[in-house]
Structure 1
Amino acid sequence: MAALAVTQTIGYGVLYYAFSVFLIPMQRDLAAAGTQVAAALTLAVLTTALCAPLVGRWLDARGGRGLMSVGSVLGTLAVLAWSRVETLPQLYGVFLAIGIASAMVLYEPAFAVIVSWFDGHGRANALLALTIVAGFASSIFLPLTGLLVEQYGWRQALAILAIGYGTLAIPLHALVLRRRPDHAATAKAAARTDLVKAAVRARPFWLLAAAFTAHGGAAATIAVLLVTYLVHLGHNPVFAAAIAGLLGVLSVTGRLVTTGLRRRWAAATVAATIFALQGIGALLLPLIGASVPGAISCVLLFGIGFGVGTITLPHLLAERYGTAAYATLSGRIALFSVADKALAPLGAVALAQLIGYAWVMGAVTAACGIAAFTLVVYHRLSFRQISKQEVSS
């Protein structure tokens, strides 16, 4: 757990969050428009989504040690290559590699390792601990990267970050991660394939996919556009940035609350309630967000569920399908949810320019409503199936 907490924090910090700090200096040195440079990160996220199913099958068959070790090496080399790019095609090639590395080393494979190792409350606590620590990646690496760029320039800063990432992540993944001792007793490849086929043919799996894809797109849209929209509503940029910064703190709070509530109520019901509250926050933002108390209230409502999807999906998948094919099923959902996280903000920006930000908040509200509704349907369907099994017994 300690090893994964370190590697996820530095992995997200270097492979994802640091990009925003390098955006302006890269525009200048590459003589490119901001949208052209920003497209590199979108390419990386989409590549991660496309790789997710393949990575999931590998994890179920062979575990995480080899995959995450190789991914750490690839990520280190890709960031080093990033520091040397001179043209946009080179930048896009580097971020294609970063997207592949991210699929191999970030949350999805880390969750698969945790799910295969821990049971019950131990699994819930492990997922909570990991996401709480890694949740501070942006808080650590945004200012750190800014300081490095100021002191050494963006190219040297990237080289320093790459060396730091490789020094920590490669040995931790290679030497600390291991498979559960009873892994040999888990389902064989044929049985695992049958389990996956049965899962994807049934409605519950697609309800989970729909819920967490919709919610991921809504959360990504708010993360990208919140500061801009608050400024549009009349708040000054400093206040807008400070309020948006609450999302990181609130995501930790929401994960703690969710983990606690799951011990008394079903996880799907808890998540559905929180997603509905987020939808209310997005709906109210155009109506009361122009005032300071209104803006703070709406951000609090949305922020409380900002990190809930991250820890709820692994729990629901393991609860329903067990651990033998967890990574494969998770990878299939990630193909949709991660892609939506990349594309939804782009669509939201286009929608805002076309008909206004209020409609974007309406779309976010609708996405949260869809996520909440599908989880309620999933819970009721699961409850009926359990009841039928008890009657049969």
Structure 2
Amino acid sequence: MILSARRSLAAVTGLGVTQIVSYGTLYYSFSILAPAMGQEFSQSRERLFAAFSGTLLIGGMISLWSGRWADRFGAGRVMTLGSLAAALSLLLCAFSPNWGLFAPALVTTGIATPFILYNTAFAVLVQIDPQSAPRRITYLTLIAGFSSTLFWPLATKLLTLLTWREIYLLYAGLQFLVCFPIHLWLSRMTRRSPMIKPETAHEPAAASGGTLAQPSRKPALILIATGFSFASFALSAMLVHLVPVLGAVGLGTSAVVVGTIFGPSQFASRLVNIIIGNRLSAIAVAILSTTLIPLAFLMLLLPPPVPLIAGAILFAMLFGMGSGLNSIVQGTLPLALFGHQGYGEILGKITAARLIVSSTAPFIFAFILEQFGPHIALSIAAFVGLLGVVTFIVVAGLVKRSTDSV
């Protein structure tokens, strides 16, 4: 028991490091480096983020396979290959001589993301110890929440010392020298998950640890995927553009400083979840996290006499808290409702829907931001986030009816 707990905690620590590096190199840094890329390639903001949206789209499509492969071959092995793919894709970007080669090279980074980000990392923890996985998932997101806090200012500083190409070379080195060895070590600790088979699809829910009755599972899966898709659209739209949007609403050079509040707010929400999270069901956390997202957008739309800086700080805090809890519940809600059997495949399906929908967010948000300004863009993002809240309320009703009928 003690050895298993130590292995599980060691895995959380290792995964925390790789999640910080992977989210920072493949996701958070792009909005900081994009202006330099656009200037070199003579491309507009819309075209840059259209290409970046392509990375999310391909990531969503690949997620359908990454989840099955995590169950079939072991999530650690999948993450090991993902590290190599991430390093290679960053090298392709760094050495692309023109826009015609850079755009498809950027899209290839999306091939790596499903194999090395949260969905597969959660599967690693479930495969190591299904019983302690919900708590370990919270620990992991607690550590990984510092990715934006570290990489937004890091990328800003590096850009004063290096070109964006040199930064991508550095990032490729981090993937190969830091993430690859950790994932290789984890591959020896993970075991394959039981697959979902047609002949076992109608077994009692308790057989796999899930609480949701079998007849309710298909509609619940569709609704959960829809709810996460709405939330991820709002999150993705703002996370990629966070610092530029804060600048556009009038914060100027304070935008990066305010943006750094996002990471600690993620940490705080996850820490609170560790302390009192066992008092709330996974679906309650899903509703709470999704509600915080549109509420955060409204803070940037507050009229005078509310000072802009006060609204921006409230935005960063609420948005960070919503994002932090949302990352946790993406792993814990499917586990609570569906159990560990075929967990990788179930999470892969949810992630696929979530990423395919949210892949349009950076481009659409950039277009609206450019054409209509930050206030209209924020209002639309808030409305989409509100749709996510409504969807999870419907899921809560379905879960209650399902458990009452058992």
The TM-score, its normalising length taken from structure 1, stands at 0.86
Q: Find the partner of 1:316 among 318, 333, 340.
A: 333
Instruction: Tell me the equivalent position of 2:270.
Output: 255
- CA separation of 1:259/1:81 partners in 2, compared to 1, >3 Å: closer, same or farther? same
| TM-aligned CA deviation for residue 357 of structure 1 | 4.0
Looking at structure 1, the residues matched to 371 and 174 of structure 2 have their Cα atoms a distance apart, in angstroms, of 43
Q: Which amino acid is 2:236 matched to?
A: A
Q: Find the partner of 1:296 among 282, 289, 313.
A: 313
- CA separation of 1:179/1:321 partners in 2, compared to 1, >3 Å: closer, same or farther? farther
- CA separation of 1:279/1:148 partners in 2, compared to 1, >3 Å: closer, same or farther? closer
| TM-aligned CA deviation for residue 204 of structure 1 | 1.1
Question: Quick check: 1:111 aligned with 2:127?
Answer: no
1:208-247 matches, within 5 Å, as 208-233=224-249, 235-247=250-262
1:101-140 matches, within 5 Å, as 101-120=112-131, 122-140=132-150
Instruction: Tell me the equivalent position of 1:69.
Output: 80
| TM-aligned CA deviation for residue 100 of structure 1 | 0.7
Aligned 8 A contact 2:225 2:350 in 1? yes
Looking at structure 2, the residues matched to 225 and 47 of structure 1 have their Cα atoms a distance apart, in angstroms, of 20
- CA separation of 1:190/1:60 partners in 2, compared to 1, >3 Å: closer, same or farther? farther
Instruction: Tell me the equivalent position of 2:188.
Output: 178
- CA separation of 1:41/1:207 partners in 2, compared to 1, >3 Å: closer, same or farther? same
Query: For each residue in 1:40-74, what CA deviation from the matched residue of structure 2 results, as whole angstroms up to 9, or x when unmatched?
Result: 32221211111111111111122123222222112
Aligned 8 A contact 2:285 2:325 in 1? no
Instruction: Tell me the equivalent position of 1:378.
Output: 395
Question: Quick check: 1:99 aligned with 2:145?
Answer: no
Q: Find the partner of 2:281 among 255, 266, 291.
A: 266
| TM-aligned CA deviation for residue 322 of structure 1 | 1.2
Query: For each residue in 1:98-127, what CA deviation from the matched residue of structure 2 results, as whole angstroms up to 9, or x when unmatched?
Result: 11111221211111111222334x223311
Q: Which amino acid is 1:162 matched to?
A: A
Q: Find the partner of 1:346 among 363, 370, 378.
A: 363
Looking at structure 2, the residues matched to 95 and 327 of structure 1 have their Cα atoms a distance apart, in angstroms, of 26
1:33-72 matches, within 5 Å, as 33-72=44-83
Aligned 8 A contact 2:289 2:323 in 1? no
Looking at structure 2, the residues matched to 26 and 132 of structure 1 have their Cα atoms a distance apart, in angstroms, of 32
Instruction: Tell me the equivalent position of 1:287.
Output: 302
Q: Which amino acid is 1:94 matched to?
A: A
Looking at structure 1, the residues matched to 405 and 256 of structure 2 have their Cα atoms a distance apart, in angstroms, of 51
Query: For each residue in 1:278-298, what CA deviation from the matched residue of structure 2 results, as whole angstroms up to 9, or x when unmatched?
Result: 433433532337613344334
Query: For each residue in 1:200-232, what CA deviation from the matched residue of structure 2 results, as whole angstroms up to 9, or x when unmatched?
Result: 972211221121111111122333455555445
- CA separation of 1:375/1:65 partners in 2, compared to 1, >3 Å: closer, same or farther? same
| TM-aligned CA deviation for residue 85 of structure 1 | 0.8
Instruction: Tell me the equivalent position of 1:207.
Output: 223
Q: Which amino acid is 1:74 matched to?
A: A
Unmatched 5+ residue regions in structure 2? 1-10, 204-213
Instruction: Tell me the equivalent position of 2:206.
Output: none
Q: Find the partner of 1:157 among 158, 167, 180.
A: 167
Query: For each residue in 1:137-175, what CA deviation from the matched residue of structure 2 results, as whole angstroms up to 9, or x when unmatched?
Result: 233334444554544533333323322320122222123
Unmatched 5+ residue regions in structure 1? none
CA RMSD of aligned residues (A): 2.9
Looking at structure 2, the residues matched to 163 and 229 of structure 1 have their Cα atoms a distance apart, in angstroms, of 30
Looking at structure 1, the residues matched to 80 and 337 of structure 2 have their Cα atoms a distance apart, in angstroms, of 29
Aligned 8 A contact 2:80 2:187 in 1? no
- CA separation of 1:156/1:221 partners in 2, compared to 1, >3 Å: closer, same or farther? closer
Looking at structure 2, the residues matched to 38 and 321 of structure 1 have their Cα atoms a distance apart, in angstroms, of 35
| TM-aligned CA deviation for residue 319 of structure 1 | 1.1
SS of residue paired to 1:307: helix
Moved more, 267-276 or 208-217: 267-276
Looking at structure 1, the residues matched to 95 and 66 of structure 2 have their Cα atoms a distance apart, in angstroms, of 28
Instruction: Tell me the equivalent position of 2:23.
Output: 12
Moved more, 79-88 or 347-356: 347-356
Instruction: Tell me the equivalent position of 1:168.
Output: 178
Identity over aligned residues, as a percent? 25
Looking at structure 2, the residues matched to 328 and 356 of structure 1 have their Cα atoms a distance apart, in angstroms, of 40
Looking at structure 2, the residues matched to 264 and 249 of structure 1 have their Cα atoms a distance apart, in angstroms, of 23
- CA separation of 1:298/1:167 partners in 2, compared to 1, >3 Å: closer, same or farther? closer
Moved more, 279-288 or 163-172: 279-288
Looking at structure 2, the residues matched to 33 and 330 of structure 1 have their Cα atoms a distance apart, in angstroms, of 35
The TM-score, its normalising length taken from structure 2, stands at 0.83
- CA separation of 1:189/1:89 partners in 2, compared to 1, >3 Å: closer, same or farther? farther
Aligned 8 A contact 1:199 1:205 in 2? no
- CA separation of 1:333/1:192 partners in 2, compared to 1, >3 Å: closer, same or farther? farther
